[in-house]
Amino acid sequence: MDGLRLLRPGDDIGILALEIVAVDDFAPTIRKTWADRFQTELARFYPRRFDFRPPQCSVLREEEVTNLGALVSLLVGESGRSRSILQARRRLANSIDRYAPDDPEKLIEYAIALESLFLDDSDSRTELSYRLALRAARLLEEDLESRRSCFHTIRDLYKFRSRIAHGGSLEELKPVEQKRLESVLLRCPSIVSRSICALLERGPSAVGKKPVDYWQELELG
């Protein structure tokens, strides 16, 4: 499921039904249970979000199937087991498990996921949002305009996240702020997913470098 969510970050992917078949007398036996007949006593076998209804469904293309296979191999490999990747995967899953597309708690999940990926080299707590945004923009984008857009999206994410974390509200935003919030909620799933995929392939653990050396080379390269 993590592979599918990384492959299609804009889709609402989750478990709609679950069936556990007993293989011996001591294994649990659960008949197929659909979301509209969800049973509380089975909740431990489900993610918190158990009703997934994406607005559009499409079959995976052949290219996507190939990419999914490669992605799953990375997820179960050494780089996929790094603490930063595992944390980011959990936080991305948490954001998807939230029902409302505009749930402000999603912002906190996105921010923690990106922190675990891009700020794993130091205990310093200074200029977090600047360093994170800079590294993400350098890693993910190739041209100046794309990097600038990615950079500002992450800086906006941090501003909204800080407002929530300090007890603020996002209900009475000015029109310009509302537009920026909508952009953050729209773009962040892709930024988090692309970051996980990129660091699985060529992050510090994948290339055998210390995080502090890897990030310095990226920033100065």
Residues 156-205 pLDDT 10s: 999 999 998 888 888 888 999 999 999 999 999 999 999 999 999 999 99
Could you give the CA distance from residue 148 to residue 59 in angstroms, rounded to a whole number? Answer: 34
Q: What is the structure's pLDDT at 167?
A: 83
Name the helix (H) or strand (E) containing 76.
helix 62-76
Q: What is the structure's pLDDT at 20?
A: 61
Could you give the CA distance from residue 184 to residue 110 in angstroms, rounded to a whole number? Answer: 10
Q: What is the structure's pLDDT at 68?
A: 95
Residues 6+ apart with CB under 8 A from 100: none
Say if residue 29's pLDDT is above 90. no
Say if residue 212's pLDDT is above 60. yes
Do 79 and 200 form a contact (C-beta atoms < 8 A)? yes
Residues 114-166 pLDDT 10s: 999 999 886 666 788 899 999 999 999 999 999 999 999 999 999 999 998 88
Report pTM: 0.84
Do 148 and 118 form a contact (C-beta atoms < 8 A)? no
Helix, strand, or coil (residue 13): coil
Q: How confident is the model at residue 69 (pLDDT cuts 50, 70, 90)?
A: very high
Q: How confident is the model at residue 39 (pLDDT cuts 50, 70, 90)?
A: low
Could you give the CA distance from residue 120 to residue 114 in angstroms, rounded to a whole number? Answer: 10
Q: What is the structure's pLDDT at 199?
A: 97
* Least trusted range by pLDDT, from 13-17, 75-79, 162-166: 13-17
How many other C-beta atoms can be found within 10 angstroms of the C-beta atom of residue 212?
Answer: 12
CA angle 78, 138, 98 (to 5 degrees): 65
Do 43 and 15 form a contact (C-beta atoms < 8 A)? no
Q: What is the structure's pLDDT at 1?
A: 87
Per cent of the chain over pLDDT 70 is 80
* Least trusted range by pLDDT, from 26-35, 82-91, 178-187, 212-221: 26-35
Tokens 């050494």 — which residue? Answer: 78
